[in-house]
Amino acid sequence: MADERVEVVLRVNGRDHRLEVSPRWTLSDVLRHQVGLTGTHVGCEQGVCGACTVLLDGEPVRSCLIFGVQAEGHNVTTVEGITPESGLSPLQEAFRKHHALQCGYCTPGMLLTAQALLDREPNPSEETIREALTGNLCRCTGYQFIVDAVMAARGQGRGA
């Protein structure tokens, strides 16, 4: 079948992008290769690893399991969108302070899941945090410092 293109307008991190996409391009590929936001990482294309997690209208979703065309009419937030213009957000700062990342590949997805958790529940317990993060795999850290960072960022909001 021919790989036809359709025009969509995607709202990503508060900006509208007019794009020509093939319907079969996953949102992760569209974000990375059409919008140029390479902070969203692809780890399994099966919805298991969580590396590609973005927020769709504020809720964490797998961008490898949504087609780019489907995101039209929704607000997409990527790691670039939770990063202040200068410096880092309180959650990002906590990640740095607590050494919550090593290779950094899972980190954007981890941050978005954690941020969404803190947005809906400002003071989650360690158990709640661990439960929320089960869908984000990390091969480097053993999770402990990630959990510590999220705990430390409780009650600090999103920052700038």
Partner 1 sequence: MAEVLRPQMMGARVSRVEDPRLLSGQARFLDDIQVPGMLEVAFVRSPHAAAKIVAIDADAARRLPGVYAVITHQECPIVLWNQESYKVGQPALADGDVAYVGQPVVAVIAENRYIAEDAAELVRVEYQTLTPVWDMRDAIHEKPRRVHEQAENVFFQKSRQTPGFDEAFAAAPHHLKASFRTNRQTAVTMEPRGTAAMLDAASGRLTVYASTQSPHRMREDICTLLDIPEHLVRVIVPEVGGGFGMKATCYPEDVVVAHAAVKYRKPVKWISDRLESLESDVHARDDIHDVEVAFDDDGKIIAIKDHLMADGGAYPAYPWSGAEGETGLAARVLTGPYDIPYLATEIDCTYSNKTPLGAYRGVWGPIASFIQEGLVDRVARHLKLDPADVRRRNMIRKEQFPYRNAARMIYDEGSYLESMEEALKLIGYEDFRHRQAQLRQQGRYVGVGISVFVEPTAMASSEAGEVGYESCTIRIEPSGRVTAALGLGPSGQGHETTMAQILSDQLGVPLEDIVVLHGDTDSAPYGGGTGGSRSGPIGGGAALVAGRQMREKLIKYAAHLLEASEDDIELGDGKAWVTGVPDRSLTIRTIAQTAYLDVSKIPEGMPIGLEVTGRYLPKRPVTFSNGTHIAEVEVDVHTGVVKVTRYAVANDCGRVINPTIVEGQIHGGVAQGIGAAVLEALRYDEDGQLVTTSLLDYLLPESTDVPRIQVQHIETPSDGEGGIKGMAEGSLIAAPAAVACAISDALAPFGGMVDTLPVTPEMVLKMVQNS
Partner 2 sequence: MKPAAFQYFRASTTDEALDRLAQHPGSKVLAGGQSLVPLMNFRLSRPDVLIDINGVADLGRLAIEDGELRIGALVRHRQLAESGDVAGAVPVLPLAAKHIGHWAIRNRGTIGGSVAHADPASELPAALVALQGTVVLRSARGERRVAAEEFFQGFFNTDLGEGELIVEVRIPISKSRFGFNEVVRRPGDFALVGAYVERSGPGGSVTWFGLGGRPERLLVDAWPQDAAGRGTLLEELVEGLPLDVSEDYKRAMAVTVAERAYQQAEGEK
How far apart are the C-alpha atoms of 100 and 80, rounded to whole Å? 18
Size (the chain), residues: 160
Q: Which of 34, 70, 75, 102 binds partner 2 (CB under 8 A)?
A: 70
Q: Does 83 bind partner 2 (CB under 8 A)?
A: no
Query: Which of these, 2, 57, 63, lies nearest to 37 by C-alpha position?
Result: 63
- Is 121 strand, coil or helix? coil
Residue 155 neighbours by CB distance under 10 Å: 9
How far apart are the C-alpha atoms of 26 and 114, rounded to whole Å? 23
Type and span of the H or E element at 107: helix 107-120
Q: Which of 45, 80, 93, 119 binds partner 2 (CB under 8 A)?
A: 45
Q: Which of 79, 116, 117, 118 binds partner 1 (CB under 8 A)?
A: 79
How far apart are the C-alpha atoms of 154 and 141, rounded to whole Å? 20
Q: Does 138 bind partner 1 (CB under 8 A)?
A: yes
The binding track of 110-139 with respect to partner 2, each residue x by CB under 8 A or -, is ---x-----------------xx-xx----
Least distance CB 97 / partner 2 (angstroms): 25
Residue 33 binds which entry of partner 2, partner 1, none, CB below 5-8 Å type-dependent: partner 1
Restricted to residues 27-66, the positions that interact with partner 1 (CB under 8 A) are 32-33, 37-46, 48-49, 51
Measured from the CB atom, is 74 or 97 closer to partner 2? Answer: 74
Identify the burial level of 27 via C-beta atoms within 10 angstroms of its C-beta, where 0-12 means exposed, 13-18 middle and 19 or more buried.
Answer: buried
Binding site for partner 2 (CB under 8 A): 1-4, 6, 22-24, 26, 29, 45-47, 50, 53, 56, 59-62, 64-67, 69-70, 73, 113, 131-132, 134-135
